[in-house]
Amino acid sequence: MTKIKNFRITLRAREIARWLKRERGLETTPDLELSIDQLVKEGKSLIEPAAVYSTLTRQIAEKTTKIVFPDKAIAVSVIVVSIGPKLAQKRSDSEIEAGREPLLAALEQEVLSQSLSFAARLIQDQAKEEDCEMSAPVPVLDSAEASSLASLVGVQRIGINLDNSANELPSHVRLASLFWTPAGKKSRSSPACRQAGAEKAVV
């Protein structure tokens, strides 16, 4: 398992604006752009990015999880990212102005997306060194499966304490899987790629 905390991410005002238009129907205006720019500056004090991830060989993953593998994949990395609870708490604050809630929701999505991308890049770089190709992150949408995988990778190491009675992960947490596949024309038994998965396997 690998843990990383307090890493730097770059918030993209343009992506926040796109999310607001797509999900909340807000057209971009000069005033909205100013609000987003201010939000990006303020948002840094509301986020505490952290991630934990682990890699399982296909054999172990198929025995211990419900992950469905692509045909040629030989291992899977499971990533859990957290941005800390401060932003979610601010979103739920009853005193928040109605106009601020969409902005905070968009910021939350952007921070989660960037945190997941950061962790995925670390694994992708490692995969290249091991003659493997890596899939794009695949979100785990089933709540029970996500909670099970989160426990498997040890989310308590990044300050996430799962409630056994909860049916889903906290809103400030995201979980995804990435599949390892031998690069190019290498066979499924590519030694380097197979060894990479085996060395990081967790029972």
Residues 6+ apart with CB under 8 A from 57: 74, 75, 194, 197, 198, 201
Residue-wise pLDDT for 81-99, tens only, equals: 999 989 888 877 755 666 7
Contact between 198 and 153 under an 8 Å Cβ cutoff? The reply is no
Predicted TM-score (pTM) of this structure: 0.82
Residue-wise pLDDT for 42-74, tens only, equals: 888 889 999 999 999 999 999 999 999 999 999
Q: Where is mean pLDDT largest: 13-22, 143-152, 164-173, 185-194?
A: 13-22
Give the Cα separation of 196 and 189 in Å (integer). 12
User: Would the CA dihedral through 62, 144, 153, 126 be positive or negative?
Assistant: positive
Residue percentage of the chain with pLDDT more than 70: 86
Q: How many folded domains does the chain comprise?
A: 1
pLDDT of residue 168: 76
3-state secondary structure of 13: helix
CATH number at residue 81: 3.40.109.40
Contact between 145 and 156 under an 8 Å Cβ cutoff? The reply is no
Contact between 171 and 88 under an 8 Å Cβ cutoff? The reply is yes
- For residue 54, the cross-strand partners are 78
Beta strand 75-82 pairing with 173-182: antiparallel
- For residue 87, the cross-strand partners are none
Q: Residue 166's domain spans which residues?
A: 2-199
